[in-house]
Amino acid sequence: MNKRKQKILVTGGAGYIGSHAIIELIDAEYDVISIDNFSNSTKDTFTRIKKITGVSVRNYVGDVADVALLERVFKKEKHIDGIIHFAALKSVPESVADPIRYYENNIGSLFSIISFAKKHNITQFVFSSSAAVYGDITKLPVNEKTPLAPPASPYGATKVMGEMMLRDIAHASPELKIAMLRYFNPIGAHTSGMLGELPLGAPANLAPIIIEAASSVRKNVTIFGNNYSTRDGTCIRDYIHVSDIARAHVDALRFLQKQKNCCEIFNLGSGKGVTVLELIQAFEKVTEIVVPVTIGKRRAGDMAAIYSDCRKAKKMLGWVPRFSIQEAMQSAWQWHLNLVSKKPSKRALK
């Protein structure tokens, strides 16, 4: 007799990490459904997922904060074993400019989805947290026990609050097993070259900006400050291939399934600090394309350096990153080439 597959609801399944996680979940034989309102993505993502995996993922279009929608999904699906909650707004500068929208969206949607999980006895819950919870920290690398400094942005604050909320809920409802994954800086694209980062507006993160400068969509990369006290004066981050981060969600679900009760935090990074210049050099090395750069002012809210200690994820989840930053940048470039070969960019040179 065939064993029933575990059914996982992914919120934000069309997003950058969500879509890569869906591929890993399908590979691991999960039955996946999604809720996404396409606020920063398009439905093409599900066509791409189908091309890669052969599976059509059912996506319910709408907002996770919409309780009536969640109930309709449950009625239709009949049972859900676990939830991975990706859906959230994620731009640091945008959150500084419009904090109400960030608190309303990120806290509101978490509140409705975790209430939904509790109501329907869904026992596995994975939350997308962020390295932004550490705030402007000086003791490196950071591990899950590192005391948090005040968050540098409303975005980071929504993740700190989300973790606090989930900790209290797990304490009061031990049957609800929770893993909170603190992502460092996801980069790269799926090895097929058919799926990658595709935000609707202009990118704000370094890796897609490098790609734009390499392909003359923009004149250059403006490096936000080269006078930090780091080895080359530019900021240090922990870049990690998006498929490595995605795979950790499968590991987290398998881990949760084995627990009686659980509320654990895991860092997901490479464990290596890389400067802005080093990431650009990694890209230049694998593609043999010179990226024009200019030095600009420091960006408000930037920390000088942060990178992870990921030993807990290795020990408890059996998770270790498989891709190097060179491989990640190469895959991002391949994704870009595949995209432009189909559709020339309409964005003007900036």
Find the catalytic residue in 16, 102, 155, 183.
155
Residues listed for the chain: 350
In whole angstroms, the minimum distance from the beta carbon of 114 to ligand UDP comes to 25
Burial (0-12, 13-18, 19+ Cβ within 10 Å), 55 = middle
Q: For residue 346, what are the contacts with CB-CB under 8 A and spacing of at least 6?
A: none
Placement of tokens 């809720």 in the chain: 35
Residues lying near ligand UDP in the complex (CB under 6 A) are found at 92, 185, 204-206, 209, 221-224, 235, 237, 276, 299, 302
Of the two residues 230 and 261, which places its CB atom closer to ligand UDP in the complex? 230
Of the two residues 173 and 222, which places its CB atom closer to ligand UDP in the complex? 222
Of the two residues 133 and 221, which places its CB atom closer to ligand UDP in the complex? 221
In whole angstroms, the minimum distance from the beta carbon of 138 to ligand UDP comes to 16
Asked if 224 contacts 235 with a C-beta cutoff of 8 angstroms, the reply is yes
In whole angstroms, the minimum distance from the beta carbon of 339 to ligand UDP comes to 19
Helix 108-119 and helix 67-77, axial crossing angle in degrees, nearest 10: 40
155: annotated active-site residue: yes
* Torsion angles phi and psi, residue 325, rounded to 5: -70, -30
Return the ∠ at Cα 133 (arms to 328 and 107), rounded to 5°: 105
Please choose, from the candidates 105, 106, 35, 100, the residue with its C-alpha nearest in 3D space to the C-alpha of residue 71: 35
Of the two residues 248 and 276, which places its CB atom closer to ligand UDP in the complex? 276
In whole angstroms, the minimum distance from the beta carbon of 205 to ligand UDP comes to 3
Residue number, nearest CB to ligand UDP: 235
Catalytic machinery residues: 155
